[in-house]
Amino acid sequence: MMNGRTFGVEIEISNKTMNEMTNLLRAAGFMVYNDRDGSMNNGSRMFDTYEKYSMERPEYKLAWKVVYDGSVSEGCEVVSPVLSGSAGLAQVKGVLKAMNKAGAKANDKCGLHVHVGAGDLSALELQHVARRYDAFESVIDTFVNPRRRDDCSDWCHTMRPIIKNIDEMAVVSTKSMIQRILGRYYKLNLQAYLKHGTVEFRQLEGTTSWTKVVNWIEFCVCFVEASRFSAGVVEAYLNETSEAFKEIPEEVREFSSYKEIDVYELSRIWNLYTRGAINKRVLEMNKLFPGLFTLKGPDVWNVNLSFKKVSFPQVTGTWNQGIPANVVAHLHHVASSHNQTC
């Protein structure tokens, strides 16, 4: 059973051009815009794949979009509007049926990405989504093609580096947590939160199977919802966070999420643009707070802040917590049909 959380889907296709895809979906009765054929913004390019949730004109927000994607340069990507519930799943099913009828295919270069609305999640809950995915990654791997498991794909890396970065933080805030994640090509793309207010699930292989896609969307939506905490847990964490921050001088709180930092990050934080100016500021800060920065290597410093580390709630339960029984059954069936190696 779907909850009210919103979602969107990006379907990569390898054998249909943007115009071919636009025409076949329009012929099937769907409202479709194409960012190259003049149907958007008088022919100029209005958006790309990753800007679909921020379009200004109301009619664009209700339409499907056909966009260019460099990973499938001979094909295209079909991007849904923001959807929700059974009506949204029905739209996805209808679009995929129209694609199949027209012979659309997804090859080994294609992926399928699902954005799940997460704007209402606290920093702690967003962290918990990532931590749960990491905890159950080996199980979730069995639900996808072997080439997208473990760390096999450059487009959906393992969650382990993300969790390592989170674990090294003393206090979780949404911005500081996401800033520690270099790139979006992980099985869960948390950087989508800052741009779209979503969590992007990137692991599923490209497919035009509506059964596989609809079940995967339900899994993603319910996985995010199941990662929420009760109000009491969040309140306790926020209180503990507040107490931890009191131990940190206000002037250095912005460094509380770092164990090390490089010259480029300091440039961004301080708005300084020469190495000389940055080195001078480092020396000034070390006079005020002895030992704050110690040189680790060329243009890289260790950050030494000693204060109470907030304990994060541990992952409990199972991967299928909150997942509908029919979706669990489908995923088990998929797992039994896949090979087990990259």
Local confidence pLDDT in tens for the 342 residues of the chain: 577 899 999 999 999 999 999 999 999 999 998 877 655 544 444 444 434 444 456 666 789 999 988 888 789 999 999 999 999 999 999 999 999 999 999 999 999 999 999 999 988 888 889 999 999 999 999 999 999 999 999 999 999 988 887 776 655 667 777 776 778 899 999 989 988 899 999 999 999 999 999 999 999 999 999 988 876 777 777 677 667 667 777 788 778 778 889 999 999 899 999 999 999 999 999 998 888 999 999 999 999 876 556 667 788 889 999 999 999 999 999 999 876 656
298: in domain: yes
Q: What are the two backbone dihedrals, phi and then psi, of residue 16, each rounded to the nearest 5 degrees?
A: -130, 130
Residue 67 DSSP one-character state: E
Q: What is the pLDDT of residues 25-60, one digit of tens each?
A: 999 999 998 877 655 544 444 444 434 444 456 666
Q: What are the two backbone dihedrals, phi and then psi, of residue 54, each rounded to the nearest 5 degrees?
A: -120, 20
- Tell me the CA distances in angstroms from 231 to 235, 266, 312, one per residue in order: 6, 36, 15
Tell me what percent of the residues of the chain surpass a pLDDT of 90: 58
Distance (Å, whole) CA 76 – CA 99: 12
Residues 172, 275: one domain? no
Q: What are the two backbone dihedrals, phi and then psi, of residue 302, each rounded to the nearest 5 degrees?
A: -75, 145
pLDDT at 296: 94
Q: What residue numbers bound the domain in which 95 lies?
A: 6-231+324-337
**337 Cα distance to chain centroid:** 27
Q: What is the pLDDT of residues 254-280, one digit of tens each?
A: 787 788 899 999 998 999 999 999 999
Residues 206, 69: one domain? yes
Structure tokens at 16: 């249909």
Residues 149, 293: one domain? no
Structure tokens at 59: 């009619």
Please check whether residue 28 is in contact with residue 104, taking contact to mean a CB–CB distance below 8 angstroms: no
161: in domain: yes
Find the largest Cα–Cα distance for the chain: 70
Residues 219, 279: one domain? no
**182 Cα distance to chain centroid:** 12
Plot region of 197 (φ>0 → left; ψ -120 to 50 → alpha; else → beta) = left
Cα dihedral 322/120/164/271 (nearest 10)? 170
What is the number of structural domains in the chain?
A: 2
3-class DSSP assignment, residue 117: strand
The helix/strand count (H/E) of the chain reads as 13, 11
63: in domain: yes
Please check whether residue 159 is in contact with residue 133, taking contact to mean a CB–CB distance below 8 angstroms: yes
Residues 259, 209: one domain? no
pLDDT at 58: 63
